[in-house]
Amino acid sequence: MRETRLFSPFRLRDVTFRNRIAISPMQVYMAGQDGLANDWHLQHLGKFAAGGAGLVFTEGLIIHPLGRSSYGDCGIWSDDHIAPLRRITDLLHAEGAVAGAQLHHAGAKAARRRAWDDFRALDDEDAARGEPPWQPMGVSAARVVAKYHAPRAMSDAEVAAVPGLFADGARRVDAAGFDVAEIHAAHGYLIHSFLSPISNDRTGPYGGDMAGRMRLALEVAEAVRAVWPEGKPLFFRLSCIDGLEGGWSIEDSIRLATELRLRGVDLIDCSSGGIRSTSSIAAAGSPPLGYQVPHAARIRREAGIATMAVGLIIQPEQAEIILQQDDADLIAIGRVVLENPNWPLTAAYRLGSDPDRKTWPKPYGWALRGLDAARSDNAEETGA
């Protein structure tokens, strides 16, 4: 058995992760209009825990109905959302994973169709089938992309109420049994749109200079930390760079991460992009593998805080090297785990940390040992 970093445990506050693999938050647009999680979400997230992930994140759970990206999003704006999420955390725990919940408000990117309908703005056709559009609220009245609804600029009083909404969401995910909460401040959504000089042209307390643009992010972190139990880790997802001229930079992220650490945030989840595009992935095009890892590495070193690397980390060896180089503490995977929910177990086998498939669920492990033996015998016969 080979010792690997990827399959070494990790501890933050009172929570121990069995390995370094996290399932990145992914919206699946499968909730009903009430925003309640259902059996689809249960099997979707449960199979990642059974597949060996150390940490399984929900999709971005919406803290206020006006902040819904689409009518298919899961909500956390009501106490009614707690019970179905509790079924999910019970299953994740039974399968040995840590349960993470992402808290989300889509800001000016609200009121859209689902991803496979190209995130188009809701229109009369949608209203006719029971999904009427609404006017999103945002940092300013500017559209994120031309095809979206023009948002309404939030008043300072409305912005000042946002931290309390995130804190209410945190209280509910705690009641639902989650171990980790993550504040979504990336991809052009509400909090990111206040950070970026491209989107934030406000005057007053939540605009202007860097301190003004960071104010909402820091107030949300403080409000959530105040209600989130001391023993539970708090993550913060950033678009570490806008990737556009005059935009939010890695130096800005290092400064913000330092401030967040001082306010009790434990880890920065290092994504990028999305400030003027439908999605962060669309904005990235076809980037090289691990394209966001350098952000995780710099923030880890220069802000002195744990980081999670994400974005086209698709090979076990690649994930292992990122950890060995101390570029990140956790590895988040998204699309590869949709393709193979057993990616973590497969990685442990391939890296030699579980050569006998002992960590696989028993009904699979014994069967696959037979398959491994047959493969190796046939390889000898064919000389492969």
Question: Which residues belong to the active site?
Answer: 189
CB of 356 to ligand FMN, least distance (A): 28
CB of 336 to ligand FMN, least distance (A): 6
CA–CA gap between residue 151 and residue 236 (Å, rounded): 25
- Burial class from Cβ neighbours inside 10 Å (0-12, 13-18, 19+) for residue 302 reads middle
CB of 221 to ligand FMN, least distance (A): 16
Q: Which is nearer to ligand FMN, 26 or 368 (CB)?
A: 26
Q: What is the DSSP code string of 195-222? A: H-TTT----STTSSSHHHHHHHHHHHHH
CB of 354 to ligand FMN, least distance (A): 22
CA–CA gap between residue 88 and residue 102 (Å, rounded): 14
Applying CB under 6 A, which residues contact ligand FMN?
24-27, 59-60, 102, 184, 186-187, 237, 271, 281, 310-313, 333-336
CA–CA gap between residue 80 and residue 28 (Å, rounded): 20
Residue with the shortest CB distance to ligand FMN: 334
Are the beta carbons of 77 and 64 closer than 8 angstroms?
Answer: yes
Long-range contacts: 42-48, Cβ < 8 Å, 24+? 42/87, 42/88, 42/91, 45/88, 45/91, 45/92, 46/88, 46/91, 46/92, 46/95, 47/341, 48/23, 48/97, 48/337, 48/341
CB of 248 to ligand FMN, least distance (A): 16
